[in-house]
């Protein structure tokens, strides 16, 4: 891939500059040495004459370059050189090489980044508009008074309310009508948000939760029931899907919420931010979160099936579809005992008291109880085992077991047929309130009674079209697949749900009767033959297996600390949620005090109020209290018999108290993921049928009972984020349309001193230390050299005078003059000389350094040195020269080779 200038950063450019400087440092001495050699004039026999001191300068310049190394000159030889000298000279070369590398590599570790500043500041926050689908789809807030409807069938008086059912008479007609005051009194509201005074101002109460979509109701649609507010319009919640973030896998900030699409949960916040700065800012704050909690247990039963394959006239295999061409017909659909029957513990699953579980919800025990009852009733339905016959005192349960590992029980017609029966499809993930629904042909019936029939086998007749599909079907007869000798009914399977939930609508409404939704979860199919790694290619004739899990799911309120970063444009897309953590409390006394409305009503009769309360206010209204990190939220029961009234739908509700019911409606919606796309519910398709990306993710997560709960949690979170919005924020109380909010929406126009401490982001230079390794190596040797230098200095073995001595002794000019003129090269200055106080170098230069010296290359690379003031004689090997004409004593040797 080509690298352009736009790909380079400051560190890259710095490294390039350092590399260029290193190359110049190497090239320039080499080039100047070449120039110097070219400047020197050679005479006869390649002899060059210049002053003695010039030879010293020339020698220093040439030997300081890289030419001795490149040309293997005498100064780089190691033959006959003592080892310490060799090591020191090699160390110098190595360090020079490493220093060049370090000069290039070290700057590459530099980079510039944006980091948090060291100081915090309290500044005023301002509202941030959400320009996404959530911002566009959330209507402005208006004066929406909290109201609720109490009663399971007909209206009853709500607890902690004014005597609210009255009888009115019409003077004109003489008829009597019942009406009630639906509004929650202000003093009750104050109690359930009184605990906020002990929290950060960012923490919401249930009365800071509003329905994202709302409407107005004039009358009660229930025939014969009391009319609300004397037939005056009152607000009611409604649900309309805005957008799905099910595959986001991130922390999201949307209008009114912080959405945790990593683990599941929504936090309530009317979004605001500090003033804009060049690099942004960071802060953290505590938020009220409502999050799902789920557990699944493997039933050790699977639905196994094959894909039909047909051959047309051309001999080509193809899928066979149902008449509506929407789903693939399954063949050989069976229920397989993977241990769910043969290994079933025949003892009734006894658990701890499920009515004292705020500190331990026992979700696994609940899910296990549902799985146990589901398997037991299925065994009895299939006559795998028997129950005790009530009228027979001598009968005993479980006297036989007609199953083994891997045994299969047929669920579809013997001759195939066209009906997709039961409604199992290979291309989706699904969940159902109803245990045992794989045994019924029509799914959950409208009435509570027997299965429409036992599983039946149809004998059919029909014509085959050219495409291979059978048309003009005629059902000739039907016969039972299983006799169902113990008359297992739908009502029996409903008991599995009640056993799992642990809370029925007729139970007393108290703090421990929180809402738990239970049901069967059908994982995505896994191929059992051929290419088992295939997840979404359903070849004709292939075989597949669907795992069955029993799952229990609830919701809880808790306080979490959320970290934010604000950067960029002044809209919500500039706010990023960088982390969500559970709030840490130093001791038990600092934990929140939760309160749940105390009432003598049944669970199914009243949407109970809950919230954070203070010690001083908890006695003003009858409440159950609990001091701990979280509160499992009360509901009205998630019974399959009432699931239609619990589902979130496009229809409006009959009250406006979203903080007391949206979470339980979302639970019901999770367990209503049927085999068909729920167009009527207003929800998107969460099964994965219409999204291959979703299907593949569910395929990975539904492999085990331990990972399947994450699917349920994410679906609940996505539904809940579309259902409600938080209204408490740090800014002034205004909505998107700038209309004023009510007191319960947001009246906390905060001063800067109350706002969270903000850290402004700053630009800082940082370094990647791996790039400093060459520099560290050079520094290590440099430190060793400094240490050795100090040691020799302390030992008195080195000094400036001794260094000068060796520099002079190794100077080429001095060596030449000493060779030519003997001791005259170091003769002392005359007593009257003005050079007496000069250094040895100055003295030598004045006396002998300016003397001309001729240097030439003789035969066999011998060196010849002579005085140009006498005739030059270049001696060959083995020859000698007379002393005639020499300016030196014969004994001193005036030339040499």
**Is the pLDDT higher at 256 or at 417?**
256
Q: Are residues 587 and 544 in the same domain?
A: no
* Arithmetic mean of pLDDT, 212-234: 70
Q: Are residues 808 and 731 in the same domain?
A: no
Q: How confident is the model over 86-129, as pLDDT tens digits?
A: 787 778 778 888 888 888 888 888 888 888 887 888 888 999 99
**Is the pLDDT higher at 834 or at 770?**
770
Residue 699 has pLDDT above 90, yes or no: yes
Residue 425 has pLDDT above 90, yes or no: no
**Residue 849 placed within a domain:** yes
Q: Are residues 414 and 489 in the same domain?
A: yes
Q: How confident is the model over 575-584, as pLDDT tens digits?
A: 999 999 999 9
* Arithmetic mean of pLDDT, 370-392: 89
Residue 876 has pLDDT above 50, yes or no: no
CA distance 217 to 322: 43
Neighbours of 371 (CB within 10 A): 31
Residue 732 has pLDDT above 90, yes or no: no
Residue 150 has pLDDT above 80, yes or no: yes
**Is the pLDDT higher at 128 or at 18?**
128
Domain boundary among 551, 573, 605: 551
Q: Are residues 318 and 425 in the same domain?
A: yes
**Residue 771 placed within a domain:** no
Two structure tokens written together for 232: 């005056």
Q: Which of 92-96, 236-240, 284-288, 758-762 has the lowest mean pLDDT?
A: 92-96
Q: Are residues 308 and 276 in the same domain?
A: no
Three-state DSSP string of 576-590: EEEEEEECCCCCHHH
- CA distances (Å), origin 47, targets 674, 686, 897: 105, 96, 14
Domain boundary among 745, 764, 783: 764
Q: Are residues 844 and 697 in the same domain?
A: no
Q: How confident is the model over 598-651, as pLDDT tens digits?
A: 888 887 888 899 999 987 666 678 888 999 999 999 987 666 555 555 566 545
- CA distances (Å), origin 60, targets 30, 41, 70, 334, 812: 13, 19, 16, 96, 9
Q: Which of 283-287, 324-328, 821-825, 829-833 has the lowest mean pLDDT?
A: 324-328
Q: Are residues 312 and 370 in the same domain?
A: yes
Q: Are residues 445 and 493 in the same domain?
A: yes
Q: Are residues 502 and 571 in the same domain?
A: no
Domain boundary among 483, 518, 551: 551
**Residue 422 placed within a domain:** yes
* H or E stretch covering 474: strand 470-480
**Residue 246 placed within a domain:** yes
* Arithmetic mean of pLDDT, 441-459: 36
Q: Are residues 469 and 439 in the same domain?
A: yes
Residue 582's pLDDT is 95
Please state the pTM of the whole predicted model.
Answer: 0.75
**Residue 96 placed within a domain:** no
CA distance 852 to 50: 5
Residue 490 has pLDDT above 70, yes or no: yes
Residue 585 has pLDDT above 90, yes or no: yes
Crossing angle of helices 692-701 and 708-723, rounded to 10°: 130
pLDDT-derived band of residue 758, with 50, 70 and 90 as boundaries? very high
Average pLDDT over the chain reads 77
Q: Are residues 604 and 480 in the same domain?
A: no
* Arithmetic mean of pLDDT, 455-481: 47
* Arithmetic mean of pLDDT, 232-253: 91
pLDDT-derived band of residue 400, with 50, 70 and 90 as boundaries? very high
Main-chain dihedrals φ then ψ at residue 156, nearest 5 degrees: -130, 165
Q: Which of 128-132, 847-851, 881-885 has the lowest mean pLDDT?
A: 881-885
Is the separation of the CB atoms in 377 and 492 below 8 Å?
yes
Residue 479's pLDDT is 56
Residue 563 has pLDDT above 70, yes or no: yes
pLDDT-derived band of residue 458, with 50, 70 and 90 as boundaries? very low
CA distance 876 to 868: 18
Q: Which of 179-188, 366-375, 671-680 has the lowest mean pLDDT?
A: 671-680
The proportion of the chain whose per-residue pLDDT surpasses 70, expressed as a percent, equals: 73
* Arithmetic mean of pLDDT, 308-326: 43
Query: What is the residue range of 607's domain?
Result: 119-290+553-670+686-764
Q: Are residues 574 and 536 in the same domain?
A: no
For the chain, give me the number of helices (H) and strands (E)?
17, 33
**Residue 681 placed within a domain:** no
Candidate ranges 321-330, 433-442, 659-668, 869-878; pick with highest mean pLDDT: 659-668
Please give the tally of structural domains in the chain: 3
**Residue 73 placed within a domain:** yes
Q: Which of 337-346, 374-383, 434-443 has the lowest mean pLDDT?
A: 434-443
* Cα torsion 588, 591, 597, 602: sign: negative
Residue 680's pLDDT is 47
* Arithmetic mean of pLDDT, 785-801: 82
Q: How many CA atoms lie within 13 A of 192 on its CB side?
A: 26
Residue 633's pLDDT is 93
**Residue 107 placed within a domain:** no
């Amino acid at each position: 891939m080509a690298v352009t200038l736009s790909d380079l950063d400051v560190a890259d450019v710095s490294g390039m500059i350092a590399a260029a400087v290193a190359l110049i440092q190497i090239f320039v001495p080499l080039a100047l040495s070449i120039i110097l050699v070219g400047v020197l004039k050679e005479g006869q026999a390649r002899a060059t004459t210049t002053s003695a001191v010039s030879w010293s300068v020339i020698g220093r310049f040439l030997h300081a370059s890289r030419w001795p190394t490149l040309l293997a000159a005498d100064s780089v030889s190691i033959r006959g050189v003592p080892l310490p000298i060799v090591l020191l000279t090699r160390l110098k070369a190595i360090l020079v090489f490493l220093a060049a590398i370090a000069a290039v590599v070290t700057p590459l570790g530099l980079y510039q980044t944006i980091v948090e500043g060291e100081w915090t500041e309290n500044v005023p926050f301002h509202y941030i508009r959400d320009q996404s689908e959530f911002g566009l789809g959330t209507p402005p807030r208006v004066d929406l008074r909290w109201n609720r409807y109490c009663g399971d069938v007909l209206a009853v008086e709500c607890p902690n309310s004014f005597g609210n059912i009255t009888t009115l008479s019409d003077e004109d007609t003489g008829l009597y009508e019942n009406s009630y005051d639906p509004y929650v009194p202000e003093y009750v509201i104050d109690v359930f948000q009184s605990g906020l005074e002990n929290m950060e101002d960012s923490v919401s109460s249930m009365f800071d939760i509003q329905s994202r979509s709302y409407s107005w109701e004039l009358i009660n649609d229930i025939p014969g029931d009391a009319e609300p507010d004397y037939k005056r319009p009152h607000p009611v919640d409604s649900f309309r899907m805005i957008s799905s973030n099910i595959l986001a896998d991130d922390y999201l900030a949307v209008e009114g919420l912080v959405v945790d699409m990593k683990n599941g949960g929504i936090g309530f916040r009317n979004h605001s931010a500090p003033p804009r700065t060049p690099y942004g800012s960071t802060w953290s704050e505590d938020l009220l979160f409502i999050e799902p909690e789920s557990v699944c247990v493997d039933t050790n039963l699977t639905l196994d099936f094959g894909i039909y394959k047909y051959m047309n006239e051309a001999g080509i295999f193809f899928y066979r579809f149902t008449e509506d061409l929407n789903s693939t017909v399954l063949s050989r659909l069976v229920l397989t005992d993977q241990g769910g029957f043969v290994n079933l513990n025949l003892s009734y699953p006894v658990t701890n008291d499920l009515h004292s579980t705020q500190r331990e919800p026992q979700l696994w025990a609940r899910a296990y109880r549902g799985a146990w009852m589901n398997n037991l009733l299925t065994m009895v339905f299939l006559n795998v085992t028997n129950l005790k016959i009530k009228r027979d005192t001598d009968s005993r349960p479980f006297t036989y077991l007609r199953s083994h590992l891997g045994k299969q029980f047929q669920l579809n017609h013997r001759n195939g047929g066209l009906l997709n029966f039961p409604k199992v499809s290979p291309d989706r993930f699904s969940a159902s309130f109803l245990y045992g629904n794989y045994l019924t042909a029509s799914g959950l019936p409208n009435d509570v009674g027997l299965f429409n029939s036992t599983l039946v086998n149809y004998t059919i007749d029909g014509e085959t079209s050219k495409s291979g599909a059978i048309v003009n079907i005629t059902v000739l007869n039907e016969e039972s697949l299983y006799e169902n000798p113990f008359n297992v009914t739908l009502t029996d399977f409903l008991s599995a749900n009640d056993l799992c939930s642990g809370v029925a609508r007729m139970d007393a409404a108290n703090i421990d009767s929180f809402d738990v939704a239970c049901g069967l979860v059908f994982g995505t199919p896994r191929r059992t033959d051929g290419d088992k790694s295939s997840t979404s290619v359903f070849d004709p004739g292939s075989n597949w297996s669907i795992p069955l899990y029993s799952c229990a799911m609830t919701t809880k309120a808790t306080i979490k600390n959320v970290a934010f970063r604000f950067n960029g444009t002044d809209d919500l897309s500039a706010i990023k949620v960088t982390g969500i953590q559970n709030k840490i409390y130093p001791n038990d006394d600092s934990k929140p005090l939760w309160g749940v409305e105390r009432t003598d009503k049944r669970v199914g009769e009243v949407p109970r109020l809950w919230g954070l309360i203070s010690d001083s206010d908890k006695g003003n209204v009858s409440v159950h209290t609990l001091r701990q990190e979280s509160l499992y939220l009360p509901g009205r029961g998630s019974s399959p018999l009432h699931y239609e009234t619990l589902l979130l739908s496009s229809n409006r509700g009959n009250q406006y108290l979203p903080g007391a019911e949206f979470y339980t409606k979302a639970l019901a919606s999770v367990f209503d993921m049927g085999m068909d796309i729920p167009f009527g519910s207003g929800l998107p398709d969460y099964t994965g049928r219409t999204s291959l990306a979703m299907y593949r993710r569910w395929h990975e997560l539904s492999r085990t009972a331990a990972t399947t709960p994450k699917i349920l949690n994410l679906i609940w979170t996505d539904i809940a984020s579309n259902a409600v919005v938080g209204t408490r924020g740090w800014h002034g109380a205004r909505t998107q349309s700038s209309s004023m909010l009510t007191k319960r929406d947001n009246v906390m126009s905060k001063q800067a001193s109350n706002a969270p401490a903000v850290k402004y982001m700053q630009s800082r230079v940082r370094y990647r230390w791996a790039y400093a390794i060459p520099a560290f190596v050079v520094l290590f040797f440099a430190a060793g050299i400094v240490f050795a230098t100090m040691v020799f200095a302390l030992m008195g073995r080195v000094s400036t005078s001794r260094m000068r001595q060796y520099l002079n002794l190794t100077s080429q000019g001095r060596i030449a003059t000493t060779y030519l003129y003997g001791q005259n090269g170091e003769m002392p200055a005359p007593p009257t000389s003005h050079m007496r106080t000069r250094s040895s170098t100055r003295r030598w230069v004045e006396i002998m350094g300016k003397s001309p010296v001729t240097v030439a290359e003789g035969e066999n690379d011998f060196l010849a040195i002579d005085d140009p003031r006498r005739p030059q004689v270049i001696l060959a090997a083995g020859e000698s020269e007379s002393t005639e004409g020499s300016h030196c004593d014969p004994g001193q040797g005036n030339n040499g080779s």
